[in-house]
């Protein structure tokens, strides 16, 4: 395990953090949860049929003695969750509807987080991103001053660490969205001991091309500086101008970013998604995430192609987010 995750593990261990795993019957989840529990890193809460989960864990040779298992259909405090859910949805659901909805593992797990019975949630091994994010947006919601959640990847290769955003959520962010993503991504970077130097990316550097697309990024730069005047941030940049000192010296000699950016904000989801996968597949970077940011409480989304190690690492990240909040 890289130094990045060793540090996170040390940070969150012994802090009595509880993380919900709605996909309690998934083998990858059971293996990771058992490991987290046995190492006393955090307390996993697995959601699903209790007998089925215990039987599956026994079959896999995994001890869940230090974990908790909740079955929504038998949960003793369901009445409390139902009432809280109806209040949170401001009368948009009836009691009958609420009881049906909270039988869904993701909604049930999200309500555990909202009601302070857990500190964060990790899902997505067997569910779509929408299945994970929708309950979070309806129940936990975004922090004050944040319009939208966004998804970042921490790109790790030996001692190198970078943050790429947004690579998971917002298809066509406007200037306000990009500014918000930049500021939130800087906060995420600090959680990983990365002192943020933020580059707002485009196909133009400092006005070398003019189009609505480049002007959007330029406007986002100004808005982000207003939101956090102390943040080291600039743009718009082509990637080489943000990353290569010799190119920065030629293309943006007066910028505070001189080829030393470590947080990269892409102008659209397609650019971000393509960018992180190129770095992952051609550059041999480990792509950790997507890490959702901007929510009141941490909820994170796994890839359905994830493995046990991915679950373990995203759980550490979620626990670190909970600790930082």
Domain ranges of the chain: 3-141+296-324, 150-281
- Close Cβ partners of 44 (under 8 Å, ≥ 6 residues apart): 18, 19, 21, 32, 33, 34, 36, 37, 64, 67, 68, 315
How many other CB atoms are found less than 10 A from the CB of residue 206? 18
Residue 197 confidence class, pLDDT cut points 50, 70, 90 = very high
Which CATH class name applies to 3-141+296-324?
Answer: alpha beta
Dihedral over alpha carbons 177, 182, 184, 187 (to 10 degrees): 180
Residue 312 pLDDT greater than 90, yes or no:
yes
Please list the alpha-helical segments (H only) found in 141-201: 175-191
Q: What is the pLDDT of residues 67-104, one digit of tens each?
A: 999 999 999 999 999 999 999 998 788 999 999 999 99
Per the CB < 8 A criterion, the answer to whether 155 and 279 are in contact is: yes
- Close Cβ partners of 92 (under 8 Å, ≥ 6 residues apart): none
Q: Please give the model's pTM, rounded to 2 decimal places.
A: 0.86
Please list the alpha-helical segments (H only) found in the chain: 3-12, 27-38, 50-60, 78-88, 95-101, 105-114, 129-135, 175-191, 212-227, 239-243, 245-251, 269-281, 308-324
**Average pLDDT of every residue of the chain:** 94
Match 């939208």 to its residue by tokens: 148
Evaluate whether 3-141+296-324 and 150-281 have a shared fold.
Answer: yes
Ranges 52-56, 144-148, 318-322: which has the least confidence: 144-148
Q: 150-281 maps to which CATH number?
A: 3.40.50.10750
Residue 1 confidence class, pLDDT cut points 50, 70, 90 = low
DSSP for 246-260, written as a single string: HHHHHH-TT-S-SS-
Match 């975004």 to its residue by tokens: 142
Query: What share of the chain in percent tops pLDDT 90?
Result: 83
Q: What is the pLDDT of residue 290?
A: 84
**Tokens linked to 269:** 């989801």
Match 């920065």 to its residue by tokens: 248
Query: What share of the chain in percent tops pLDDT 70?
Result: 100
Q: CA–CA distance from 258 to each of 187, 194, 235, 263 (Å)? A: 21, 17, 11, 13
Q: What is the pLDDT of residues 128-185, one digit of tens each?
A: 888 998 999 999 999 988 999 999 999 999 889 999 999 989 999 999 999 999 999 9
Backbone torsions φ then ψ of 68, nearest 5 degrees: -115, 145
């Amino acid at each position: 395990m890289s130094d990045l995750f060793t540090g996170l593990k040390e940070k969150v261990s012994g802090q009595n953090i509880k993380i919900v795993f709605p996909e309690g019957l998934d083998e990858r989840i059971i293996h990771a949860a058992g490991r987290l529990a046995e190492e006393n890193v955090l307390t996993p809460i697995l959601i699903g049929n209790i007998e089925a989960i215990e039987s599956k864990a026994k079959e896999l040779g995994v001890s869940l003695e230090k974990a908790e298992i909740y079955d929504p259909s038998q949960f003793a405090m369901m009445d409390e969750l139902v009432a809280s859910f109806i209040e949170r949805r401001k009368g948009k659901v009836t009691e009958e509807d609420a009881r049906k909805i909270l039988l869904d593992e993701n909604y049930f797990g999200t309500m555990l987080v909202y009601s302070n019975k857990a500190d964060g949630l990790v899902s997505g091994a067997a569910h779509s991103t929408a299945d994970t994010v929708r309950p979070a947006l309806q129940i936990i919601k975004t922090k004050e001053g944040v319009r939208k959640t966004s998804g970042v990847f921490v790109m790790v290769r030996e001692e190198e660490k970078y943050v790429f955003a947004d690579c998971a959520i917002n298809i066509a962010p406007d200037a306000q969205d990009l500014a918000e993503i930049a500021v939130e991504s800087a906060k995420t970077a600090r959680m990983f001991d990365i002192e943020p130097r933020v580059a707002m990316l485009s196909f133009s550097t400092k006005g070398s091309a003019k189009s609505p697309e480049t002007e959007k990024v330029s406007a986002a730069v100004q808005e982000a500086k207003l939101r956090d005047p102390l943040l080291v941030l600039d743009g718009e940049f082509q990637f080489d101008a943000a990353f290569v000192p010799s190119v920065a010296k030629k293309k943006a000699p007066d910028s505070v970013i001189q080829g030393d950016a470590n947080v990269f904000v892409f102008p659209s989801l397609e650019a971000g998604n393509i960018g992180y996968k190129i770095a992952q597949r051609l550059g041999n970077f480990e792509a950790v995430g997507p890490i959702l940011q901007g929510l009141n409480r941490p909820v994170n989304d796994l890839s359905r192609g994830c493995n046990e190690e991915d679950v373990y690492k995203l759980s550490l990240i979620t626990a670190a987010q909970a600790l930082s909040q």
